Structure 1
Amino acid sequence: MPVSIKKVLFGKTKDGMEVNRYTFEGGKVVISVLDFGCAITNILVPDRKGNLADISLGYDDVAGYEKNFPYIGVVVGRVAGRIAGGKFSMDGKDYKLAINNGPNNIHGGATGFSRRLWAGEVMGDKLKLTYTSPDGEEGFPGEVTTTVVYSLTPEGALTIDYTATTTKPCPLVLTNHSYFNLKGHADDDVLDHVVQINADTCVPLNEDLIPTGDLPDVSGTPNDLRTPVKLGDREEQVRLGNIDLTYCVGNEGELKYVSRVSHPATGRYIDTHTTEPGLQFYTAKYMADAVGKGGKEYKPFASFCLETQRYPDSVNHSNFPNSILRPGYTYRQTTVFTFGVLQG
């Protein structure tokens, strides 16, 4: 049965703008997306017995997404992750951004792409969302036009295609910031989940959560997730935040298999393929004051993110993959999340 997209009014912003929800139906997995922040609001996935659970954290109304300090479900930009001190230099000019996370800038600033209304268009079985960020928005140079296209196969593979162009050189690092719990969004921990990430090296952080610039081998460290690891077996490291890192998963531009997160009891899993060089694995250590769907209070370590992106603060590290988009070029990224069920 082919997948179709149903559009309904989700609500209105505090400024009275209509926000629509687009639901992909007809396949094994049901997914809903808003045109506000490109937010994924629901992901319904069956377990081994065919029981559906919503494995994606989210909110019941637009007001939740307008506040949304944990960035649940949304596309973040212009730059995902932290920029040290909220500043960078490019082509001999210094730029100063908003400080909205300790001493740093995070996820594009105080508003960013995640709190903007995008233009939505259904194109057959695809949802196209477009936003034009004006020159100087949040301190970033250039008018940047970004398009995000969501598509879902009947078997449960969600593809997110990103493209962007700019009128001036600017850093651009985009990702989707969905939080998952394979038991269901209302469950209170993910320590019984099993994680495997195909990365030989990672991007360690300093005390301000900024990359040190080193890219060490993960061998012999708690960060080695190349073979499947139950998070509960490394609970101390998880709670310290030591596993919440960007992992170096391969060449930019090449669509490759980079991770699997599974829940043995239900059989549900997420496989990730991406063209990005980095995968930020985050177990919601800093989740706070988030009341989600059905009034559920979301807690630290009760969900995880799989953020496909360039490395954090890459604009300030010459040895990191390039994050500068220039006029005449097109930013491209493809990430595929495959939702399935393990047998046996």
Structure 2
Amino acid sequence: MTVSTVATLPDGRVVQRITLQSQGMTAQVLTLGGIVQDLRMDGVAAPLVLGSPDVAAYLGRARYWGAIVGRFANRIGGGRFALNGRDYQTDQNFLDRHTLHGGSDGLDQQIWTVEDLAADRVTLSVSLPDGHMGFPGNLHVMAEIALHASTLAFDFTAETDAPTPCSLAHHGYFNLDGGGDVRHHELWIDADRYLPVDQDLIPLPGMAPVAGTAFDFRQPRQIGASGYDHNFCLNNGSGQRETVARLTGRSGLRMTVTTDAPGLQFYDGRHFKAEPGLDGQTYGAHAGVALETQSWPDAPNRPDFPDAILRPGEKYRHSVSYGFNQ
């Protein structure tokens, strides 16, 4: 592995890049946001992820690309929730009405500390103070990012000194064919239900069956043009690590997603508009697909959803891996 300083941000913070290597794979990880800036597989010419060569872009146009997001991944409706009889107002950084990925100063904007480092893995940490973005509790987060042969793996843990919403996710965008439009990729998701959303992408009441809808990926099929930015309610109710999704490119390269999380946010990347990327690529609409394992969105306001409150004395745990094979 190598560690190098690659950027100084406008506010003076220094960003380092860590190169991880395993037999068959190389990853570039930034201390800014725990971002996976680049991911390469031996024998595959193009990067497997979307990334920006300009580190400062991760503060703006490239925000969330490959980052660790939280303290609560996805959306909280109205940027508010009640907990233990108290009302909380969190940063309304999405449409000026809702909280997205922990607010405008979420985990993706933090400089993480390197706690441990080996050739094929790095452990990063960061602490968010009580009241940060309106959330209660001092939250300490640890993330191990590792390469296992041809697999990129994340193990998240967190602890708090006051009850707080907590859901961490890896927000990578994947393209298995080296450019262009991912809608021809074939996708399988192990979910019988999904969460319908309103025009602001906040979950509506109830879950809906995928059967007979454009959200049915229980048999592998092309992503197509229906438009997706939805949480799939995974069938892995055991809380153990299970295979929950597979993505296959035209090249035959396949990515398998394994996790212990209850939800998978599938987003088809329709927002990209001529964004400069790796290897001189320009990312247009649908340049990459995000498959983010997580707690369900707006869970702090939904007692019918899986509990997403972390309490003192408990340890939050979430693991996800992305395995590649040809």
TM-score of the aligned structures, taking structure 2 as reference length: 0.95
> Structure 2 residue aligned with 1:299, among 275, 284, 292?
284
Quick one: which amino acid aligns to residue 338 of structure 1? G
Match of 1:281 in 2: 266
Confirm or deny: 8 A CA contact 1:29 1:339 kept in the other structure. Answer: no
User: Once superposed, what is the RMSD of the aligned Cα atoms?
Assistant: 1.6
Q: Which runs of structure 2 are paired with 1:153-168 in the superposition (5 Å)?
A: 153-154=148-149, 156-168=150-162
Q: Which runs of structure 2 are paired with 1:18-167 in the superposition (5 Å)?
A: 18-46=14-42, 50-68=43-61, 70-102=63-95, 103-124=97-118, 125-154=120-149, 156-167=150-161
Partners of 1:296 and 1:149 in 2: CA distance: 29
Does 2:248 align with 1:262?
yes
Deviations 1:21-71 (A, max 9, x none): 11112421211111110000111124xxx3421121111132112224541
Q: Which runs of structure 2 are paired with 1:122-271 in the superposition (5 Å)?
A: 122-124=116-118, 125-154=120-149, 156-184=150-178, 187-231=179-223, 234-235=224-225, 237=226, 241=227, 243-249=228-234, 250-251=236-237, 253-264=239-250, 266-271=251-256
Quick one: which amino acid aligns to residue 183 of structure 1? D
Query: Which stretch shows the higher mean deviation, 187-196 or 307-316?
Result: 187-196
Does 2:317 align with 1:332?
yes
Secondary structure in structure 2 of the residue aligned to 1:53: coil
Confirm or deny: 8 A CA contact 2:22 2:147 kept in the other structure. Answer: no
Quick one: which amino acid aligns to residue 128 of structure 2? S
Structure 1 position 337, deviation (Å):
0.7
Match of 2:11 in 1: 15
Partners of 1:160 and 1:131 in 2: CA distance: 15
Confirm or deny: 8 A CA contact 1:70 1:290 kept in the other structure. Answer: no
Quick one: which amino acid aligns to residue 35 of structure 1? T
Q: Which runs of 5+ in 1 are unaligned?
A: none
Partners of 2:91 and 2:44 in 1: CA distance: 45
Secondary structure in structure 2 of the residue aligned to 1:191: helix
Distance 1:122 1:6, change over 3 A: farther
Partners of 1:26 and 1:208 in 2: CA distance: 41
Partners of 1:289 and 1:172 in 2: CA distance: 34
Partners of 2:309 and 2:22 in 1: CA distance: 39
Partners of 1:289 and 1:137 in 2: CA distance: 34
Q: Which runs of 5+ in 2 are unaligned?
A: none
Partners of 2:54 and 2:195 in 1: CA distance: 36
Secondary structure in structure 2 of the residue aligned to 1:267: coil
Confirm or deny: 8 A CA contact 2:52 2:62 kept in the other structure. Answer: no
Secondary structure in structure 2 of the residue aligned to 1:114: helix
Partners of 2:8 and 2:323 in 1: CA distance: 31
Secondary structure in structure 1 of the residue aligned to 2:46: strand
Partners of 1:119 and 1:51 in 2: CA distance: 31
Partners of 1:44 and 1:21 in 2: CA distance: 15
Confirm or deny: 8 A CA contact 2:193 2:209 kept in the other structure. Answer: yes
Confirm or deny: 8 A CA contact 2:47 2:278 kept in the other structure. Answer: no
Secondary structure in structure 1 of the residue aligned to 2:191: coil
Deviations 1:117-165 (A, max 9, x none): 00013333420000000111111111000000011112x1121000000
Structure 1 position 248, deviation (Å):
1.1
Structure 1 position 17, deviation (Å):
2.4
Partners of 1:172 and 1:288 in 2: CA distance: 31
Structure 1 position 251, deviation (Å):
1.8
Match of 1:316 in 2: 301
Confirm or deny: 8 A CA contact 2:183 2:268 kept in the other structure. Answer: no
Partners of 1:255 and 1:56 in 2: CA distance: 23
Structure 1 position 260, deviation (Å):
0.3
Distance 1:294 1:157, change over 3 A: closer
How many equivalent pairs are there?
A: 323
Confirm or deny: 8 A CA contact 1:45 1:268 kept in the other structure. Answer: no
Quick one: which amino acid aligns to residue 144 of structure 1? L
